[in-house]
Amino acid sequence: MRNLRKYISIVMLIGTVQICSAKLWLPSILSDNMVLQQESNVTIWGWSTATSDAITVKGSWNDVPVTTEAYQGVWSVSLPTPVAGGPYTVTIEGHEKLVINNVLIGEVWVASGQSNMEWTANSKIVNAEEEISNAKYPNIRFFHVERHLAQYPQDDTPGFWVECTPQTMADFSAIAYFFGRDIHIKTGLPIGLISSSWGGTPVETWIPEAVLSKDSELMEAAKKIEPKKWWPNESGWAYNAMIHPLVNFKIAGCIWYQGESNRQNATSYYKSFPLLIKSWREVWGNEFSFYFAQIAPFNYDAADALDAAIVRDAQLQTQLQVPKTGMAVTNDIGNLEDIHPKNKQEVGRRLALWALAKDYGVSSLEFSGPVYKTMEINKDKITLLFDHAGMGLMMKGKKLTDFTVAGPDRVFHPAKAKIVGQKVIVSAKNVKDPVAVRFAFTDTAQPNLYNAEGLPASAFRTDAWEFQE
């Protein structure tokens, strides 16, 4: 009996030591200074080393506890959030107590892509010194995901939330900052920005490999991307490390700037880019808004090349065909000698126009430049009609540029074009029987067609002819 009592005491002591040493921890995205999506059910999750652990979570906005049990060391709860406000705290209690401080409730956006999205104010942008010094917005918060890769989807990523100050803004995505700043100023809402980009990356490395591998054509197209030692091209590897750890975190939407690296398999972008959007929405379980920048003109030293033009067309078709997407056109703010145009302010502003109009109810706001809608053929002339031309069309310069016309032979010739109200009429003296028009359909096109609100028209084509690889 004495030995039995001794044995029980030892077992109880071991159990007590295990309980006392049990560790409770959170993913890095749940940290001080974070922004939680307003008026939603956000997920608060983490891990515990205890074999059995009751976890209670509550936000100071209502102090209503939500309780769950850790299962095999993993736990999560759904926590209702109020309208925008703060700062608040979020308290998690199990075998130990964790408190997340200085939490705001507002709007959360993910910014991703390649180098133009990654580009910071410190990397030289227009008016950088003044922009940095003015970046004093404590209700804008940043979370930066460092470059890293993983062969398999990861549960966590290094990082932490910080308030927007001149010091933190200087090394954060400039486009993301200007996008968030415009929304914050116009709505007064707290804004959380998560930057997760890597210069040079093709779209395939941002798509879950399990999704991409189901499409044999896209897998074959991915092989055309030339490997580079300074950026990844393995399917899904950037997604695994830099996006998957975020998918439990509730967001309002994404902004995206990428496509230059997919010139090597440009025609596949018609499928791969919509697939990226679809796959992200599926893993988040939310058909959130997805706004993106059309790639800017640049001299790629490839005579008569259309690779970048094809990528731009794929981006336009994505906007036209995929719900809750929108495109910021950049053909007037590019630099043919610099693949990283310095005017990041305007890119951020144009992306923000979409969000303000579509997500935040700012009425009477034109958010897009002219988008080709349909055409009418009348003898040797073609009349083009546009969406987003309600107040009329305009040009900058003495005459419209970058229009071409083709006949049944599918050979395109330079065309004359003139604006008539909300329409453009085009013709080419070498084409007596026109059947198709293309606008700004080269890698280096810098056209000059705008709507009355000053937003540029996207490159487009009226034909659906296949491109030769």
Lowest mean pLDDT among 12-16, 96-100, 366-370, 402-406: 12-16
Taking residues 415-434, what's their average pLDDT?
A: 96
Residue 468: inside a domain:
no
Query: Is pLDDT of 15 > 70?
Result: no
Domain assignment present for residue 364? The answer is: no
Name, of 51-65, 302-316, 391-405, the range with top average pLDDT: 391-405
Residue 467 covered by a domain: no
Same domain? 272 vs 351: yes
Position 7 scores a pLDDT of: 39
Cα(236)–Cα(31) distance, integer angstroms: 26
Lowest mean pLDDT among 46-50, 184-188, 233-237: 46-50
Largest Cα–Cα distance of the chain, in whole Å?
A: 110
**Mean pLDDT, the chain, whole residue set:** 94
Q: 34-48 pLDDT, tens per residue?
A: 999 999 999 999 999
| DSSP characters over 221-256 | HHTTSPPBTTB--STTHHHHHHTGGGTTS--SEEEE
- pLDDT at res. 400: 98
If asked whether residues 336 and 351 sit together in one domain, one would say yes
- Distance separating alpha carbons of residues 354 and 179, to the nearest angstrom: 10
6-20, 148-162, 393-407: least confident range:
6-20
Tell me the pLDDT tens digit for each residue of 108-127.
999 999 999 999 999 999 99
Supply φ then ψ for residue 399, to 5 degrees.
Answer: -150, 155
Residues 30/101, Cβ–Cβ less than 8 Å: no
Same domain as 320, residue 193: yes
Domains held by the chain: number: 3
Same-domain status, 35 and 85:
yes
For residues 332 and 445, state if they share a domain: no
DSSP structure class, residue 265: G
Same domain membership, residue 246 and residue 209: yes
376 and 432 share one domain: yes
What residues have CB less than 8 Å from 5, skipping those under 6 apart? none
Give the per-residue pLDDT at 12. Answer: 35
Question: Does 94 share its domain with 110?
Answer: no
Give yes or no for residue 14 having a pLDDT over 60. Answer: no
Of residues 138 and 5, more confidence is placed in 138
Question: Which of residues 333, 358, 383 is at a domain's end?
Answer: 358
Mean pLDDT along residues 199-203 = 98
Q: Evaluate whether residue 117 is within a structural domain.
A: yes
- pLDDT at 216 exceeding the cut of 60: yes
Say if residue 235 is in the same domain as residue 167: yes
pLDDT (0 to 100) of residue 63? 95
Mean local confidence (pLDDT), 451-462: 98
Instruction: Give the pLDDT band (50/70/90) at residue 21.
Output: low
% of the chain with per-residue pLDDT over 70? 94
User: Quick one: pLDDT at residue 50?
Assistant: 80
Q: What percent of the chain has pLDDT over 90?
A: 90
Do residues 188 and 323 both lie within one domain? Answer: yes
Q: Are residues 84 and 120 in the same domain?
A: no
Residue 400 lies in a domain: yes
Give the alpha-carbon dihedral of 177, 173, 122, 145, to 10 degrees. 130
* Whole-number pLDDT of residue 246: 98
Asked if the structure places residue 176 within a domain, the reply is yes
Question: Residue 468: its pLDDT value, please?
Answer: 72
The string of pLDDT tens digits covering residues 146-157 is 999 999 999 999
The last residue of a domain, from among 326, 358, 390: 358
Residue 53 has a pLDDT of 75
Supply the pLDDT for residue 298.
95
Which residue range forms the structural domain that includes residue 128?
105-358
Beta pairing class for 191-197 and 97-113? parallel
Q: Is the pLDDT of residue 13 over 60?
A: no
Of 54, 107, 119, which Cα lies nearest the Cα of 83? 107
pLDDT tens column, 331-379: 999 999 999 999 999 999 999 999 999 999 998 899 999 999 999 999 9
> What is the mean pLDDT of the segment spanning 230-241?
96
Alpha helices in 170-306 (DSSP H): 174-187, 209-212, 216-222, 237-242, 269-284
Asked if residue 170 has pLDDT above 90, the reply is yes
Tell me, what's the pLDDT at 3?
Answer: 47
Angle between helix 307-321 and helix 269-284 axes, rounded to 10 deg: 40
pLDDT single digits (tens) 284-313: 999 999 999 999 999 997 756 799 999 999
- Domain end among 73, 98, 123: 98
β-sheet bridge partners, residue 197: 113
- Domain of residue 74, CATH code: 2.60.40.10
> Could you tell me the CATH number of the domain that includes residue 150?
3.40.50.1110
In a domain, 366, yes or no: no
Mean pLDDT of all residues in 436-442: 97
Asked, for residue 218, whether it belongs to a domain, the answer is yes
For the chain, the residue count is 469
More confidently predicted of 210 and 10: 210
**What's the mean pLDDT in 128-140?**
98
Q: What's the first-to-final CA gap in the chain, in angstroms?
A: 85
* Model pLDDT for residues 58-78, shown as the tens digit of each residue: 999 999 999 999 988 999 999
pLDDT value of residue 301:
79
Q: Average pLDDT of 184-212?
A: 98
Q: Do residues 318 and 211 share a domain?
A: yes
